[in-house]
Chains A and B, each alone.
Chain A
Amino acid sequence: MPASMTLPDLASATANSGVRSSALANWQATGWPGPRVESWRFTKLALLEGKTFAPAHDFADQPAGAGMDAAESIGAHVLRFVNGVVDPSDIENAPEGVNISALAADEDAMSHLRQMVPPAHPVSDLSLAVMSAGIIIDIKGRVDMPLMLSFEGDGATTSAHPVVFVRLFEGSYLQLAEWHASTAGLSAPLTGIDIAAGARLEQVKVQTDGQATTHLAATGVTLGAGASIDGFSLSTGGRLARLETHVCFAGEGADCNLSAIYMGRGEQHQDITTYMDHAVPNCTSNQIIRGVLDDRSRGVYQGRVHVAPDAQKTDGQQMARALLLSRKAEVDAKPELEIYADDVVCAHGATVGELDATQLFYLTSRGIPKDVARAMLIEAFLIDTIETISNETLAAILRPVAQAWMAEQETL
């Protein structure tokens, strides 16, 4: 690790034992990924150089953010995190079927969670070590009320390290929304999602952190036999944002839809990284990724589909498309297939380009002003991805965020 890259204040973490102390030791040994680490090839953390963050540990209330409004609009139960610290009052009145407990007290759970992302992962090690909040959310049966995790915060020198482990028990069902609207210096949420046999999770994540925030999220998902996840991320915030998801198929017949939209302008850097580990036969994974980049922004999509030697009948699909709206924008893509079984159907596609001049001409020749025509085409480019979200309630909170981004685009 470059010496100039200062650590967050780790004083609070040194007293830990077990998994957390091992995570801390690991982080201190490796630190932020250096320039030659392949998985961080396109996303450099030079921004964090020379910065010292102080992780928050006590809950300090703030005026409610946009996530709370969104939660209200869909009637969700909210778990509110401010600077990564959970509001203790939200833990108590959880809806039926939802049980919330403390993660720090459960060594097995922490050890399990840590294994859901690759070993020596900087976000998982650091956030487990400093952990501003650690909770386990257990889901039993069908929970009809959506659950919202709302992350807020402020302070350029504050770092947030919320660790959330969601466990869906056999046959359970949950709608989960994650809303990030923090202006803290560093937001590093670690999330584990363990979906047991036959359970289903419908999930959306909205990332609208502040323009100066570095958002580094690590999510690990495990799918049991016949389990399914329908996940969607929309990332428009942060100075630098990386949404990294690792999915492990642990039981046959599991199904994973994981799609994402990233939108960048100004100097933003948006990174979507996914890893599909098809360890067992008969599973399907499908990813649709769309990116829109303006000004000097940069977009990254890295997606790997790994099919283990015996994982026959795997169906793995990836489709990544990016739209460059400005001369200075850049997009980097690395869709990877790593296949060790023969009876599989795997494909990926990637395209990069600008708005189609003939489509633009078609619209303007019919009297539609150019900026409106552009907005229409951008919306059309994104909309079919949002349309794939099966849960209309969750899709409803996403759409306004994308629309707001585009409305801002028109006025620029």
Chain B
Amino acid sequence: MEINKTINSDNVDLMINMGPQHPSTHGVFRLLLNIDGERIIDVKPHIGYLHRGSEKLCENERYAQVVTLFDRLDYVANLNMELGFCLAVESLMELDIPDRASYIRVILCELNRIASHLLFYGTYGLDVGAMTPVLYAFREREKIQGFFESITGARMMHNYFRIGGIKEELPDDFNNRLSLLLDEVSQGIEECDMLLSKNEMFLARTKNVGIISASDAVDFGVSGPNLRASGIARDIRVSKPYSIYDRFDYGIPVASSGDCWDRYYVRLEEIRQSIKIIKQAMSQMEDGPILAKVRRIARPPKGEIYFRTESPRGDFGVYLVSDGSDKPYRVKVRAPSFANLQSLQYLLKGAYIADAVTILGSIDIIMGEVDR
């Protein structure tokens, strides 16, 4: 593999093993670092500690059952995973989804995006050595998780989306509670922003650290906020709108330098845009059915589809091959973290050992979807 950065690697003097149980590896991820003094000269990432064979398991479950397996891919953005799979099956069956169901899906998915970015915000603070942000972030995130619990019955692993719609109608006080939640969360975001973004030490740790150029990011298959931080405005919600995302007015935050701070701030800005989407969806949502007329056991016709959605981490693709039976013939998941993590080998080469955790944290990986 060609790496453009050239470093003299004649005198390797130390090899450091980081992980798999390192607190800042966000799961079970192992890194072998060859260092020369303070510089990292070679990186060898080891993944697979969380490999459960999800794709193979999908082939032995009915379509409705597969949704539960998708919950467990990106386990901090469960609903976004469910949405990706349900939309893939629905477009294979050419189903029309009732409007109300689509609006509820969008509202919940954007809330989940906020929760996921808040988790990133908190843990990223910890990664660079700030203890306070995580407390503020989890205070807000817990409100969202509690809100999910009252709607879907579970804080995580919701299994709420169905092929053709959603599981059940929203509680009566949904609108009031959602607007209250949004007010609280948007206030909380501003607090978080004030607390960390312009902090002098935080800037010193993250500015001009772990830079990846747009062309390298594209070459490595990086997507989502990481790619947008490098200056490419690619968001599936806009470039190839799925579900009802073409009905809202919102912006795509893009940064230019592609360093750790940009990757951090793009996510913070995305939270604000998600709040904007939810508010519009709330005002547009009308009463109606929540489930399309579908057979209890879904049997999509023979065929295949590659469906792209924008998960909080980037392009989430589901490649689904159906042979006409009640179980999928093949499910391949294009996990955004998997491709994003590949760029780590490039990012860490030549960086200081003290920045390794800063850079790894800024990629925002979830091992559940990397290893599948």
Partners in one complex: no
